Amino acid sequence: MTASLPPFDFARFQSLLTTTLIGRPLVYRPVVGSTMDLARREAAEGAVHGTAVFAEEQTAGRGRRGRTFFSPAGANIYVTFILRCSLELHRTLPVRVPVAVAEALAAVVPEAAIKWPNDIWVGGLKVCGMLIDGELEAEGPVAFPGIGINVNFDPSTAQPDLQRIATSLAAVLGRPVDREALFARLCNELERTLAAPAADVLARYRERNLVLGRRVHVSPVGGAPFEALAVDLDDAGALVVERDSGVRETVTAADVT
Ligand code: BTN
């Protein structure tokens, strides 16, 4: 799958892009430290709403809570979007972004589902992680949703501990995946999902999630882990859980390890 890496086909990507804003322009780099950092620099220099900062490989890919995100070259998708949106829209991105990503991936692998708070899983393994940073610039708020999708990566080349938890779309399907088509679909879905009413997006999240109505393991930052029933999700992506005692509490992605 990674033996010969096809170059990114810009013409094909653009021919499939139906958006007016998202994915326009595309800032493309063969290698970066992290697209999160490059996107911040591009935004500080005035990059427009919708700009996609895309890399073939990251040498310092970032995950949640300061973890590293393994980002080898392998015809994958490592992208950070620059979204100049209202604070209200920004608040709902933890729901909107996973829904857009999951729906784009589901066109390729129908069972793709959202594992709260920020992963997409297929068959019990992670194929995608997301991270949403934000900044209040002089011109207004900017959000930086970063999305890493294992598209054509060969999981057998990864460390054994990573192989136990992650895979790629190509490994699931047993054939290479057209990532330009997938990336164009992701941009199209993101534009559609950013414009949709919050209640509709929440309903779409509910359809595709792996958590609601199930028992979950909650690992609070600096607190004792516990098991609880996931009973609800609010429009900002916070999860309402019910402990065995019947006590309900709300946990956000920032609260859990
Ligand atoms: C996680 O799984 O904890 C989140 C992973 C987010 C990875 C993406 S890849 C594109 C962007 N650049 C990064 O350094 N991180 C995000």
| Tens digit of each residue's pLDDT (9 = 90 or more) over 153-175 | 999 999 999 999 999 999 999 99
Does the C-beta of 117 come closer than 6 Å to ligand 1?
A: no
Residue 198 sits at φ, ψ, to 5 deg, of -55, -40
pLDDT per position as a tens digit, 131-152: 999 988 888 899 999 999 999 9
Enumerate the H helices of the chain as residue ranges: 10-16, 35-44, 87-91, 93-106, 160-163, 169-173, 179-195, 198-208
247 CA distance to ligand 1 middle (Å): 33
- The model's pLDDT over 83-113, given as tens digits with 9 standing for 90+, comes to 999 999 999 999 999 999 999 999 999 999 9
* Residue in 29, 76, 147, 151 to alter for ligand 1 test, most ligand atoms within 8 A of Cβ: 147
- Judged against a pLDDT cut of 90, whether residue 257 lies above it is answered with no
Please answer whether residues 226 and 243 qualify as being in contact, where contact means their C-beta atoms are separated by less than 8 angstroms: yes
pLDDT value, residue 2: 45
Residue 1 has pLDDT above 50, yes or no: no
How high is the pLDDT of residue 121?
Answer: 98
- How much is the average pLDDT of 201-222? 94
pLDDT over 90 (residue 245): yes
Q: What is the pLDDT of residues 8-67, one digit of tens each?
A: 999 999 999 999 999 999 999 999 999 999 999 999 999 999 999 999 999 999 999 899
| Pocket lining: 63 vs ligand 1, CB cutoff 6 Å | yes
Q: What is the CA radius of gyration of the chain?
A: 18
8 Å CB contact between 112 and 144: no
Q: How confident is the model at residue 82 (pLDDT cuts 50, 70, 90)?
A: very high
What is the pLDDT confidence band of residue 3, given thresholds at 50, 70 and 90? low
Cα 241 to Cα 211: distance, rounded to the nearest angstrom: 10
Tell whether ligand 1 has an atom less than 6 A from the beta carbon of residue 69: yes
CA distance 103 to 99: 6
- Nearest CA, atom 3, ligand 1: 63
CB atoms within 10 A of CB 47: 20
The fraction of the chain above a pLDDT of 90, given in percent, is 91
Angle at 75 between CA 71 and CA 78, to 5 degrees: 45
Q: What is the pLDDT of residue 57?
A: 97
Closest CA to 5 of 134, 197, 151, 195: 151
